[in-house]
Amino acid sequence: MSSEFWITTVAIVLGPILAVLISRQLQVRDRERERKLYVLRSLLSTRKAQLSQDRVMALNLIEIEFAGKKKILEKFNDLMQTYSDRQKWESGNANVLNAVNEEVDRKSVLLIDEIARDLGYKFDQIKILSGGYYPKGLGVAEEQQQIIREFLVGLRQGKLLLPVGVVDFVQTSGTGDSNGQEASENEGPSA
**28-77 pLDDT per residue, tens:** 888 999 999 999 999 998 888 888 899 999 999 999 999 999 999 999 99
- Give the distance, in angstroms, between the CA of residue 118 and the centroid of all CA atoms in the same chain: 23
Query: How many Å apart are CA 47 and CA 125, to the nearest integer?
Result: 12
- 162 DSSP assignment: -
- Give the distance, in angstroms, between the CA of residue 109 and the centroid of all CA atoms in the same chain: 16
**72-127 pLDDT per residue, tens:** 999 999 999 999 999 998 888 889 988 998 999 999 999 999 999 999 998 887 77
What are the backbone angles phi and psi of residue 165, rounded to the nearest 5°?
Answer: -125, 150
pTM of the model: 0.67
